[in-house]
Amino acid sequence: MKIQSSSPRIRRNSGFTLLEMVIVLGIIAMILGGAIFSMNKIGNSAKLSQVESDFKSFESALAMYKLNAGSFPTTQQGLNALVTKPSSTPVPRRWVQVMSKVPKDPWGTEYGYRFPGKKRANDFEMFSKGEDGIEGTPDDLSSQDD
């Protein structure tokens, strides 16, 4: 004769509870959020590197322009003098198209140009208005910054 116990037998299923799944998904979301935040900083660093690279390209193009024309373009002639022959004075003696188009900065705005520059009057100055697109704010970048 078998004696049966009066307490029911508890059977435990293996697997995850809803609470455990929510906790794991929350941890994953926090990790992804941190990674996306870090990637944003890397993106800004890449944009700053792009500006520096563009300044070097413009420096080479402007040196070639000066070699042919005799002087750097004026502030009024701007960077378009590298693409189309200026008609305003001083009109270059010899002009050669140096660039096919003037690129924009990584934030989608046109680079600024002035000759003479603000810091070194005997040299040109390239500048980007930075992420905010407003000249004269702390995020501006200049080719004459040391």
pLDDT tens, 41-53?
Answer: 666 778 888 888 8
Q: CA torsion, points 93, 87, 135, 122, in degrees to nearest 10? A: 20
In angstroms, rounded to a whole number, what is the distance separating the alpha carbons of residues 98 and 122? 22
User: What is the predicted pLDDT for the residue at 73?
Assistant: 93
pTM of the model: 0.67
Residue 1 is classified by DSSP as -
28 φ/ψ angles, rounded to the nearest 5 degrees: -60, -40
Fold of the domain built from segment(s) 39-142: Glycoprotein, Type 4 Pilin (3.30.700)
In angstroms, rounded to a whole number, what is the distance separating the alpha carbons of residues 42 and 35? 11
Q: Is it the case that residue 126 has pLDDT exceeding 70?
A: yes
pLDDT tier, 22 (very low <50, low <70, confident <90, very high otherwise): confident
Q: Is it the case that residue 6 has pLDDT exceeding 70?
A: no
User: What is the predicted pLDDT for the residue at 12?
Assistant: 63
**How many beta carbons lie within 10 A of that of residue 72, not counting itself?**
19
Tell me if 65 sits within 8 A of 98, measured CB to CB.
yes
Of 61 and 145, which is predicted with more confidence? Answer: 61
Convert the pLDDT of each residue in 78-103 to its tens digit.
999 999 999 888 888 888 888 899 99
pLDDT tier, 26 (very low <50, low <70, confident <90, very high otherwise): confident
User: What is the predicted pLDDT for the residue at 111?
Assistant: 93
